[in-house]
Structure 1
Amino acid sequence: MGPDMRGLDHSWVPLHLAIGWIFTRDRDFVGKLPFDGSTRKVAVAIAIQIEMAKGTKAKPIDDSWLDLRDAMLTGKVRAQGIPYWRRPRDGGFPVETAEVRRDIPAAEIADANLRDDNEYRDCLIPKDWHVSSAPFYRNIQVLRANLLAVFRPPAPTTKDEAGAITALANLLREGPKLRRAEARRNLAAEGFNISDRRFLNRIWPQARLEAGLEALAPAGRPAVGDASSQPPQSRR
């Protein structure tokens, strides 16, 4: 997709956006959050929304982190980060060393707290960091497919339908020959929970029109995944 990609449009979602999604289950809200933000900024944005809702109460955002942490510990949500250490140096400040991004083991998740570390936001810091040999982790991301499978979006609404049409229209602009079955898979991966009837009768034709195409694809090779695309059984 183009440069207007939003948080949940990426295969790997920054930790603060994942927490924002778990808290709100609102794609529009998460899409407006800065991609390079932090959980602290998410909490501020949510507090503003609550204030605008005239004092509506909500559970603390820390609860959403704990829900995500549990899913990471049980392997339901895959998480990656950049491990780093601050090792003491004779006569000076500690020297930071880092490795390449990798999966975060469950044991290191269980033995860490989520907090800021100087210029880094939303780091996993070992509870006994001053004596532990375990690394710190920064730039933590979770796999979007896992996130949306475990923390499912709410039942579709008119707003969700409009979002699905826009998302699919963007895909069709990039690939006008996109087939229905592939389009369905893409929307599901983006977290849109749309019924088959709604997809065929409203989402698909409206998205094609929005992309500058005919509402129905011209007759030709059947869509991949359609029953009609299966080769005929040979007769003996």
Structure 2
Amino acid sequence: MTLAHIAAKQPLVHCMTNTVVTNFTANGLLAIGASPIMADAMEEAAHITSIADALLINIGTIQAHTVEAMHAAMKSAKAHHKPVVLDPVGAGASRYRIETVRALLTHGVTLIRGNAGELAAIAGVTWSAKGVDGGDGEADVAHIAKTVAKAHRCIVVITGEEDVVTDGETVIHVAGGNAQVTRITGSGCLLSAIVAALLASCDGTLEQIAALLAQYKEAAVNANGFAGTYAVTFLDALQQLSEVDV
């Protein structure tokens, strides 16, 4: 019933996300009944966050001025008790990215959603990542997730062939999905935005988050076609699941 929570609440999600995925993210939120707003100007970031129901911070295409605005938005979210989801895209790809992530984390977040390579970078674990892709490593993914969750007192979601959700103590694994979803840009970024919408719509328990991840994987299975068509049918599948869930 997690998509039903979102459809019923119709939350406004402030998405400070990367330029590659803005359209896909906005359309994905609209498909499930949420409302996106995207404001990364320093002059309005804090105010928009104060009137939104949740904040998404995605570092995919960060620049100095957007990082400054993200800090202002996160301070506003903390002051107004709004849930914050951090998507540390490519955190291990450069020193600038990981230093930015560490600085943003000082404000506190509700949830971190990323792939194994990104969370390994935050945990300081050796991992062979390729740009923003998850890459490969020998460390235990659940252990990495628990380490980061405990260190930052938040929920951690690591997505991949099998998703991992943890609060640092309890761990839930979510299997399923379709590898074709990795062939389109923005599927992970959209998921982070939808998780933010969920946190604005219900208690945000581990079980609710895991159920949402299962629905997202179900949409990936229900979509079809090659990359171009698949991206469109994936949004269709999300909307269909949302309406059925309601």
TM-score interval for Structure 1 and Structure 2 normalised by the shorter chain = under 0.3
- Relative to its length, the structure with more helix (as a share) is 2
- TM-score, normalised to structure 2, is 0.22
- Of the two, which has the highest radius of gyration? 1
Indicate the structure whose relative CO is greater, using CA pairs within 8 Å and at least 6 residues apart: 2
